Amino acid sequence: MEDITTFEMLPDEMILFVCKHLRCAEILYSFFNLNSRLNSTITDYCHYVNLRDVTYKQFNFVATQIIPRIGLSIRSFVFNGKWENIMFEELNSKFFHLKLSLMFPQLHVLSLMNFSDIQLNLFLDKITDLFQLVTLDIRNLRGEHSLEFLEKILVSNNNRLNSILFDYDSTSFILNTTKNNEIVPYSNIEELIVNLKTDKMLDYLFTLIPYIKRLHIDFDQLSSDSKSILANVSTLIHLKDFQLRSISQDWSLDEIAYILNKMPYLQRLALNLYTEDVNLINGQNFIRILPSSIVEIHLFILYFFIKPNIEIDTLLSTWPTHIQIKYLLNKLYKYAVIHTIPCDLSSIMIPAKIANYMLVGSEYTRKVKDLKIFDKQFRAAPNLECLRISLSCLNIALNNISTCELLQKRIIDLEISCVPEIDLIQLDTIAQKFYHLRDLSLSLESPTVFIDSLILKVLSLWKDKNLRGLYIKGLLTDEMNNNLRQWFINHSHLRQEDSFIVEYKTNWFSMCCNYHYSFIDSKDFYYSVKYNNLLNRSELLYTDLVTIKNSMSILWFFLLISCCYAAEKLSSYNVDPSETSVSGLSSGAFFATQIQVAFSASIKGAGIVAGGPYNCGGQISYTSCMYTSSPSITQSISNTKSWSGNKIDDIKNLATHKVYMISGTSDTTVGGSVMTQLYKYYVTDGQFIPSANVVFKKDLKSAHTFPTDFDSTGNNACGSTGSPYISNCGFDGAEAILQHIYGSLKPRNNGVLSGKFIEFNQEEFITNARTNGMSTTGWIYVPKSCADGATCKLHITYHGCLQGYEKVGDKFVKNTGYNRWADTNNIIVLYPQAVATNTISMGGGASLPNPNGCWDWVGWYGTDFSVKSGKQSTATKKMIDRITSSFNPIDAPTSLQVLATTDNSVTLAWEPVSSATGYNLYRNGGKANNGIITGTTFTDNNLNSGTTYIYTVKAVSSAGSESAASNSVTGKTTGTPPAVETPNGLIATNITSNSITLKWNSVSSVTSYNVYRNGNKLTSVSATLYTDIGLSSATNYQYQVSSVKDSSESEKSIEVQATTLTEKVCFKDNNYNHVITRRAYNNFGYAMATGSNQNMGLYNTFLTTTLCKTRENYYVIE
C-alpha cells in the first residue's frame, strides 16, 4: 500500500493551524486547489482579500487565477496603486476585460492604497454598478485634490456609496469657492473622513453633504477671517458624530462655537487642537457652547500659555464632574496637554516630551489608531516592522547603537525620504543592519539626479537577500528607460527566466521581484495600535522625522479575525410570535403556503404572488402545477386533513388566517388557473379559511413579477417576465399583503429608512446549507424601533427562482417595498435565501437539479419538504423561534365592565396593568378613543340611543405596542333606537396629493351610505370604501359618513381628518434641459435625477424623460 505522506492529506485542522502564521495572500497562494475541502472553505467563507504583502509571482497568480474563481464571495478587497500595470494590463489581465461589478458582485468595502490622483481618477470609472458597495476607503492618496476630484469620488458607483474615508496620510483637498445655489448636494453620503486645506472650504463641504451623520475633518490652516466664515456655514441637522483635528493653527473658543452651532443634534464630539485661548480649556465656558444633544466628549488639546504662572489646576476645577479632565504639563516650554479620560480619538498629535509620559498609560488613548509625535521618539519601536523616515534622521539612528538595535530586528519595509544626495545614503550599513528588509523606498529631493547606478548598487547589495520591492524616485537615462527589463538583464545578475517586473512612471522607478522569504512574526504595539480593518496595519507617525508602522499578527485565518468575513448571528427581538406572517413569489409563494399550512399555529396570514396549491409538487410533476394548467387539489386537501395535528399543525388554526393572493393577467409561468386552484384549496373546496379572509386579486395587468408602485434601478417592466422579477405595476403589492394581514397601516417611509439590513448566518439553522438548497447567509431588515426594543411583528418573504441574492443581489431584499411599510409599522422583515444546487437525489431513485435557486416545493431535498420536518421548513421555523424569543408582552387588562349608560354614551372601567402607559378602547372592533386613555375608566360618547355595542380594551406599553384584548362586554344605550344605525370605525388611508380613501364598518340592512366632506354631502355609495379624488394638495379635509335605509338616514359618524400630501409636480423635457434646470445632474455622460439618483439615460437633447418633484430637491422618474 502506498504511504500517504503528502501535506495535502493532513486533516484540515492541522493545515488551518499553519494559517495563523500566514497572511491572506499567502493562504490563497498556498492552499487554493490543494484539496476540495479547502477550496470550498475559501470560496464560501473568505470574503476579505488583501494582497498587499505579496511577491510579484504570488500576486500575479492569485490575481489572475484565484480571484476570478472566488470573486463572487469577496466582500472586501484592497487595491494598491502600484499594481496598476498588473491589474489592468490589456494583454494578460482578466481584470482589464471584466467589469469589477461582474467580478465582485457582493463587494461591500473597497480600499484603495497608494494611488496618485491621476491613477484614482481613471480607476473611479471602473467603480460602477457594484450594488453592494457602500464604503470606499482611500489611503495614502498622492497629488493635487480639487473640487471636481472630490465630486467624482462622491458620485462613484452610481451614487451608491454612503461612506468615504480618507486617511490622514492622504494630502488635503483644495475646494474652490462656489456659490451654494450652484452646488448639487450628495444625499447618499452619510460618513466622511477628509483632509481640508483651510476652513474656507467648510461652507462648501457642509452644503455638499447635507445628510452626513459622521464627519471627521483634518485642517491644515485657519484663515484670518475664520469667524465670519464659520458663522455662515450650512447647518447639518443629521450630524451625530463630529471630529476635528488641527494642530498647526491656533483655535479659539468662538471658532469652535460657530462650528458647533451648526450641529444642533450632535451626540459625539472629538477635538484634537492647538490653542492659546484660555477660554477654550475653561470648562464653564466650553460646556456653554455644546449642543444639548451631546452624549460623548473626547478632547486632546495642546494649550500654549502666554502667562508664565498659569494655574492649570484652577482651570481643571472649572470642568463639571461628569467630564473627567487631566493634564500633562511641560513648564519649560510653557505648554500642557488637556485631555479627557478616556480619550477615545482615532487620531491625535502630541509633542514627544509629553508622549514619553503618556506611553505608560494606555488607558488614556485606548482607541487611538493614528498617532503623530513631534520630535525624536524611538523608544516605542522595538517590535515594529515598517519605518518611514527622513535620511537625516535615519543616519542619526544608524549611528546610535542602541537605537539601531531596536529598529533592525523587525523592520521589513523601509521608506527613506528627503535624500539630498545619493552618496549620503549608507546603503552598506542598511543592507547589513536591516537584514529582514523586503521593501525599500528612496525618495531623492533633486528632480535632476539620475538613479541608474543607485539601482544597480541596491540590487548588488541585496543579491542574496530577500528583497521583494524596490521603489526609487529620480531620473533614468534614455538607454535604461527605452527597454527597462532588458537593461536589467544586460547590467545585473537578473536573467530572462527570472520572475520580476519593472516600471517607470511619474519619476518613480518600481521593481517587484519574486524572491521567497520567511514570514517574520510581529507583536502588537499596545499604545498606538492603528487597527485598520482593511490593511491589518498599525502605525505610529513621527512628523518630519519618522513614521513607524506595526503589522498586527494574523491570529487565525478561519476565526475570521482579518482575512475572512463572518455574517452575524441572527438576533432575537421583542417580536410578538402571534404576529408572524409569510409571503412569496413563484417558488417562494408555493413555499410560503407550505410554511403557512405546516406551522399554522405560528402563522397568522400569507401573501401569495403567483403560487399554487399546497403540496402540489409532491403529488404530480411540478410542471403540472405551473403555466396555465389546473392541477387537481383533491390529494392536497386530503393530505392536509390527514396530516393535521401530526406532520403539520392542527388545521383549525387556518380558520383565523388572512390570505392575499395576486395573479397577473399576463403571467404564463404560474397562471391564473393555478392560482384559482389555490383559492379553491383555501376556501371553496378545502374550506380551511373563510372567504371573507381571502382576497384574490386577478385583474392586475402584470407578468410573472412582484408588483410595486415605484421605480427601482434594474427592475424589469411590469408586462414582461425577466430578472429581477420586480416591477412598477402601479400597485403596491407589499402594502396590499401587509394591510390585509395586519389591518390599517401607518403611511410608508419613502425616504431614508431608519433601520438596518443585516446579513445573518443561516448555517446554524440547517446542516449542509448549500447541499440542501439554502445559502450560507440570509438577510433581515430591522427597523430602528424594533432594534430599540419596541414590540414588533415579523413578516417572512421568500424570493422566487432566479431571484435569490446570488442571482440578483439585494434587489428582492430592497426593491419589493416591504421595508418601507415595515419601517413605520414596527415590522421586522426576514429574507431567507435559497441557492442553486446541481444534481439532487429525489425519492424513487430519481434525480433533478435545482439550477435556478428555487425554494423546495417539489421534494429536491426530501419527500417531507411540505411538512414540519422538511429541511428548509425546519430551518425557517428555527429562525422564527430565534427572532421571537425575546418577546416581552404586556399583560392584557382584566375585569372590563360597564359602569353606566345614557341615551348616547357608555361608561366603562377595568383593572389597571402595572406596566402600561395607557389604554385603547375598542367598540365593535374599531378604536373608540382618539388619544391614549391614561386612566382606567372611559366614557364613550356620541352613540346611537337604544343600540347595543361590544367593547374590549387593550393596554399600551411605553414603546407604543398593544397587549392582547381584555374580556369583552356588551353595553346598550338607553332610549329609542334610531331608525338607522350610525356607521363606526371610519378611517382615512391611502392618502396622496389629490386623493383620500375612506373605510368604515358595515351596518346591517342598510341600502347605502352618505359621505360628507367638510360638513357637506359629497356622494352616496353602497360599499364601505370610497376614494375622494380631485383634491388640493397639502390641504386638510374633514369627513363623516352616515347610513341610509329606505328614506331614513342615521346620524353622522365621528369626524376624521386627513391632509393630502404635497402635490407631485412633473416636468417632461430632454435630459439636457433637466440638468440645466437642476432637476438632474450629469454623471459621466448620464443624466441622474436629483435626490433619487435614478439613471435617466444619456445626457443629451435627444432623450426625453418625465421627472416628478415629490419634495424639495427630490425628483423621480414618472
Interior/surface letters 197-235, b for 16+ CB within 10 angstroms, e for the rest: ebbbbbbbbbbbbbbbbbbbbbbeebeeebbebbeebbe
Minimal CA–CA distance to 273: which of 241, 306, 298? 298
Give the side-chain half-sphere CA count within 13 A for 1074. Answer: 37
pLDDT at residue 531 greater than cutoff 60: no
CB proximity list for 675: less than 8 A, separation 6 or greater: 608, 610, 611, 612, 661, 663, 696, 698
Mean pLDDT, residues 840-851 taken together: 54
Q: Minimal CA–CA distance to 218: which of 384, 121, 349, 318?
A: 349
User: For cell 490622514, what's the residue?
Assistant: 168
Q: What is the largest CA-CA distance in the chain?
A: 116
b/e sequence 725-737, b meaning 16+ C-beta within 10 Å: bbbbbebbbbbbb
Helix, strand, coil percentages for the chain (3-state, nearest 5): 25, 30, 45
Query: If 0-12 CB within 10 Å is exposed, 13-18 middle and 19+ buried, where does residue 715 land?
Result: buried
pLDDT at 221: 62
| CA 194 – CA 188 distance, rounded (Å) | 16
Q: Which domains does the chain have, with CATH numbers?
A: 7-304 (3.80.10), 386-521 (no CATH), 575-884 (no CATH), 897-972 (2.60.40.10), 987-1059 (2.60.40.10), 1065-1117 (no CATH)
pLDDT at residue 333 in the model: 61
Cα–Cα distance between 515 and 493 in angstroms, integer? Answer: 14
Which pLDDT score is estimated for 1?
36
CB 1028 within 8 A of CB 995: yes
Average pLDDT over residues 968-994: 85
Give me the phi and psi of 686, to 5 degrees please. -75, -35
More confident residue, 1064 or 1042: 1042
> Helix 36-45 vs helix 24-31: angle between axes, to the nearest 10 degrees?
140
Task: Kindly write down the DSSP assignment for every residue of 229-264, as one continuous string.
Answer: HHHTSPP-TT--EEEEEEEEEE--HHHHHHHHTT-T
Phi, psi dihedrals of residue 493, rounded to the nearest 5°: -75, -10
Q: Which of 85-99, 204-218, 723-737, 996-1010 has the highest mean pLDDT?
A: 723-737
942, 956, 941, 952: which is closest to 897 by C-alpha?
952
pLDDT tens string 277-294: 888 888 888 988 998 888
**Amino acid 20: pLDDT:** 60
CA distance 900 to 971: 9
pLDDT over 80 (residue 443):
yes
Closest CA to 441 of 477, 423, 464, 467: 467
905 phi/psi in degrees, rounded to 5: -150, 155
Q: What is the overall mean pLDDT for the chain?
A: 80
Look at residue 843 in the predicted model and tell me its pLDDT. Answer: 44
Report the pLDDT value the prediction gives residue 848, as an integer from 0 to 100. Answer: 64
Contact 977, 947 (CB under 8 A): yes
pLDDT, tens only, 1053-1071: 888 888 887 777 888 888 8
What is the predicted pLDDT for the residue at 720? 87
Q: Give, as one character, the DSSP assignment of residue 652.
A: G
Give the per-residue pLDDT at 1004.
79
CA distance linking residue 1093 with residue 810, whole number of Å: 18
- CB 111 within 8 Å of CB 49: no
Q: Output the pLDDT for position 532.
A: 26
In this prediction, residue 566 has a pLDDT band, given cuts at 50, 70 and 90, of very low
Which tens digit of pLDDT belongs to each residue from 924-968?
777 888 889 999 999 999 888 888 888 999 998 876 777 878 898
Contact 857, 617 (CB under 8 A): yes
More confident residue, 524 or 597: 597
Summarised one tens digit per residue, pLDDT across range 710-755 is 888 778 889 889 889 999 999 999 999 999 999 999 999 988 888 8
pLDDT (tens digit per residue) in 64-79: 778 877 887 788 888 7
**Quick one: average pLDDT of 552-565?**
27
Binned at pLDDT 50, 70 and 90, residue 93 comes out as: very low
Check whether 361 has a pLDDT greater than 60: no
CA–CA gap between residue 610 and residue 589 (Å, rounded): 7
**Mean pLDDT within 859-867:** 93
**Set 53, 199, 277, 667: catalytic member:** 667
pLDDT at 106: 85
Of the listed ranges 633-647, 726-740, 1020-1034, the one predicted with least confidence: 1020-1034
**Catalytic pick from 586, 663, 961, 1043?**
586
Instruction: Work out the pLDDT band at 523, boundaries 50, 70, 90.
Output: very low
For 124, other C-beta atoms within 10 Å of its C-beta total 19
Task: Yes or no: say if 154 and 126 are a contact pair by the CB < 8 Å rule.
Answer: no
Which is more confidently placed, 898 or 366? 898
State the residue for C-alpha cell 453633504: 209
Tell which phi-psi region holds residue 408, choosing left (phi > 0), alpha (psi between -120 and 50) or beta: alpha
Q: Which residue has the cell 337604544?
A: 946
Q: Which pLDDT value is given to residue 577? A: 93
Contact 347, 324 (CB under 8 A): no
User: Closest by alpha carbon to 872, among 885, 857, 884, 882?
Assistant: 857
Q: Which residue has the higher pLDDT, 444 or 597?
A: 597
Q: What is the pLDDT of residue 888?
A: 74
CB 192 within 8 A of CB 212: yes
Q: How far apart are CA 458 and CA 983, in angstroms?
A: 94
Catalytic hit among 47, 339, 704, 740: 704
261 contacts 282 by C-beta, under 8 angstroms: no
pLDDT tops 50 at residue 527: no
For the ranges 158-167, 840-849, 873-882, 964-973, the maximum mean pLDDT occurs at: 873-882
Per DSSP, the three-state class of 1082 is strand
At 2 the pLDDT is 39
Give me the pLDDT at residue 534, please.
24
**27 and 563 in contact (C-beta within 8 Å)?**
yes
Question: From CA 782, how far away is CA 575, in angstroms rounded?
Answer: 11
Better-scored residue on pLDDT, 233 or 529: 233
The full 3-state SS of 664-675, as one line of letters, equals: ECCCCCECHHHH
Query: Buried b / exposed e across 271-302, counting CB within 10 Å, b at 16+?
Result: bbbbbebeebbbbeebeebbbeeeeebbbbbb
Query: Are the C-beta atoms of 779 and 758 separated by less than 8 Å?
Result: yes
3-state secondary structure of 759: strand
Residue with cell 448639487: 184
Per-residue cell: 386 = 515598517
For residue 632, indicate whether it is catalytic. Answer: no
| Pairing assessment for the beta strands 191-198 and 76-80 based on DSSP bridges | unpaired
**Contact of 131 with 70, CB cutoff 8 Å:** no
Nearest to 413 by CA among 433, 384, 390: 384
pLDDT digits (tens, 9 = 90+) for 13-42: 666 666 666 667 777 777 777 666 666 655
* Beta strand ranges found along 17-123 (DSSP E): 48-49, 76-80, 109-113
Can you tell me the distance from the alpha carbon of 745 to that of 103, in angstroms, rounded to the nearest whole number?
41
Question: Please, what is the Cα angle at 831 between 825 and 833, to 5 degrees?
Answer: 180
Q: Catalytic annotation on 667?
A: yes
**Residue 96's pLDDT band (boundaries 50, 70, 90)?**
very low
